[in-house]
Amino acid sequence: MSSTAKVLTARQFFSRHGLLSKWHPHYEFRPGQLEMAEAIEAALAEKKHLLVDAGTGTGKTLAYLAPAILSGKRVVISTGTKNLQEQLFYKDIPFLQKHFERPLQVCYMKGRNNFACRQKIYDAEKQPILNGLEEIADFQIIREWEKTTTTGDRAEIKTLPESSTAWQKVDARRDLCSGQKCQQFERCFLTLMHQRAHESDIIIVNHHLFFADLAVKDDDYGGIIPEYAAVVFDEAHEIEDVVGKYFGAGVSNYQFQELVRDVASVSRAKQFGSGELDRILETLDDRAEQFFALFGESEGRVGFKGHVAFFERHQAKYDDVLMALELVATQLQLVKNAPEDVLPLHRRATELKLQLEFWSRGDNRSFVYWIERRGRGCFLQATPIDVSKILEEKLFDALDTVILTSATLAVGGTFEFTENRLGIRHTRSLVVPSHFEYQKQALLYVPQHMPDPRTPAFPKAAAEEVTRILKHTRGRAFVLFTSYQQMRMVYDRVSLEIDYPTLLQGTGPRSALLDEFRRTPHCVLFATSSFWQGVDVQGDQLSCVIIDKLPFAVPSDPVVEARIQRIREDGGNPFYDYQIPQAALALKQGFGRLIRSKTDRGALVLLDNRITKQRYGQVFFDSLPNYSFTTQLSDVEKFFDV
């Protein structure tokens, strides 16, 4: 084991002949990695905030992990995905641990539904909650694993299907958790996770857990992440939308259905049921169904502004739902010698009533109110229009050091857009150029003959151009779209014209499609926004990324529309202050799929030539790496013939 007694600074760790060069089997000195690590080291020591735009290939994971470990402070690392969390914990931390004499005190925390509930597993053996052979088989896998696991994290069970309904019946979500009153509290996987966190210097979470925790820190139930001195956000460009989710309010018809189902099953299992309770539950189920039916059946998200008129017209149905919820809560309060399961059910009924009342008032100008229909689900949502004040107060003013890093934080070389959107005032900033030679590795092609992407002629022309390009690249491409409709139209045409295997988003789970793409030579994947980020395919298998048009957020989306309106009211120019910078960062994300290593090589194609014809196009070019550029398809042909 190597000695780290002399490791005092990031420079000694990351310099050309530093400790990392002696440890890492494929070490390559990266000046940007050293610069980033030193900036983070200084921010932690001097209690400053820091923004770092670090290009792909910088080695940013180690550049923030090592200074965090060496700081001697408790630091939370928050990632964009659970996958990145697991990479940090199971790959990067063990690599560093091999070379540190002292044990590194590191843990990861995830949301409750990632963990098994021991009590539910034991109860499931005695009660008939499992349906069908599939659930019974899945439960047997879970039951055997529970006997040996030390974490209770479902990610350990490789043989359990992603869509397992048995897992949903035995996971540790808060809905039925009785907390310290539970017989298994001392052995509970969540209790053990909290204990590990209190003993740790580095706590690895994801953005959803971090902001869910931040939102309840002032509640009676308090947060679950122990006190910390600093936080590092990786993939920090995702923060604004996540904050909106956890500091907003929302109710759905599913929550009512689940409450009715859970009260019924617990009352039967714990023998406090009655004919009266059954009738009240039936009433709540019926009244909730009638109330949510008032919002129509059109799929998608739409803004909701007419609260006063709507509730004047439907006051009786709204009052009926509230009354039924109150009756359920009252019945639960009246249970004699109530088992511990009753408290979380009562809490849910009360919270549901509060959330519905907040949404129905619709009078808080800081929020945008909207409804969404997805299949049989109806969701009533209220989202903060501007999260900057929330973050300023609860995060940046409350903590000594907040570090935000991503490959997409700077627009045109400045952080003004990110600072304004997130409410970060007094901060240091750093742009770390990528380690890659984009001039040699990537060619950006923008065809000039394409019609405007907003016209009906565009899908046909796009399909023809994509077909021509794929013949030169021999497949091996992602074709990414800003809408499902456009994706389907182009896919239907192109898939008939090319001889290469094609995959379409929506025909299988995201992870399965990616695995199939990696395994299938010359494959072409057609997809939308969820494939624009967090996807890593190295080597020749992905040699081309085609994007249909500049990824402006849909202006009719209720949250986007409200943000645009608020900027306009404040005297700003929404197009230049919000829509262009947001689209520039999204385009950078999409193109970031292609060059993932120093040996990767490929073509980037943007079918939207407004980037070369409109004045604002320069903002996009200034935000992208310095690719080679062409407007001629013949140059793409030459690029692949080398």
- What CA–CA distances, in Å, run from 465 to 446, 608, 631? 11, 12, 13
Q: What are the tens digits of pLDDT across the range 15-57? A: 898 888 888 777 888 999 999 999 999 999 999 999 999 988 8
Q: What are the tens digits of pLDDT across the range 540-560? A: 889 999 999 999 998 999 999
CA–CA dist 182, 162 (Å, integer): 28
Q: Is the pLDDT of residue 7 over 80?
A: no
Kindly give the pairing relationship between strand 230-234 and strand 401-406.
parallel
Over residues 311-328, mean pLDDT: 95
340 burial (CB, 10 Å; 0-12 / 13-18 / 19+) is: middle
Amino acid in position 273: G
- pLDDT-derived band at 222, boundaries 50, 70, 90: low
Q: Percentage of the chain surpassing pLDDT 70?
A: 98
Domains detected in the chain = 1-105+200-246+387-435 (3.40.50.300), 111-181 (no CATH), 249-384 (1.20.1440), 438-641 (3.40.50.300)
Ordered DSSP codes for 201-233: SEEEEEHHHHHHHHHHTTSSS--SSPP-SEEEE
CA–CA dist 4, 1 (Å, integer): 9
What is the reported pLDDT for 221? 55
Range 282-310 burial, b when 16+ CB lie within 10 A, else e: ebbbebbeebbeebeeeeebbebeeeeeb
What is the reported pLDDT for 595? 87
Over residues 235-252, mean pLDDT: 94
CA–CA dist 397, 223 (Å, integer): 18
Over residues 459-476, mean pLDDT: 96
- Which of 397, 394, 401 minimizes the C-alpha distance to 216? 394
DSSP element (H, E) containing 299: none
Over residues 335-354, mean pLDDT: 89
- Which of 96, 66, 115, 105 minimizes the C-alpha distance to 195? 105
Instruction: Work out the mean pLDDT of the chain and round it to a whole number.
Output: 91
Q: What are the tens digits of pLDDT across the range 181-191? A: 888 889 999 99
Encoded tokens for 372: 């969404």
CA–CA dist 288, 304 (Å, integer): 19
Kindly give the pairing relationship between strand 524-527 and strand 502-504.
parallel
Over residues 478-482, mean pLDDT: 94
What is the reported pLDDT for 183? 86
Encoded tokens for 1: 């084991």
What is the reported pLDDT for 219? 65
Q: Is the pLDDT of residue 4 over 50?
A: no
What is the reported pLDDT for 223? 73
What is the reported pLDDT for 268? 85
Amino acid in position 535: V
Lowest mean pLDDT among 156-160, 200-204, 411-415, 570-574: 156-160
Lowest mean pLDDT among 143-147, 203-207, 365-369, 507-511: 507-511
Encoded tokens for 624: 């992208």
- pLDDT-derived band at 3, boundaries 50, 70, 90: very low
Q: Is the pLDDT of residue 338 over 90?
A: no
The answer to whether 176 and 262 have CB atoms below 8 angstroms apart is yes
Torsion angle (degrees, nearest 10) of CA 526, 530, 532, 537: -70
Over residues 498-511, mean pLDDT: 89
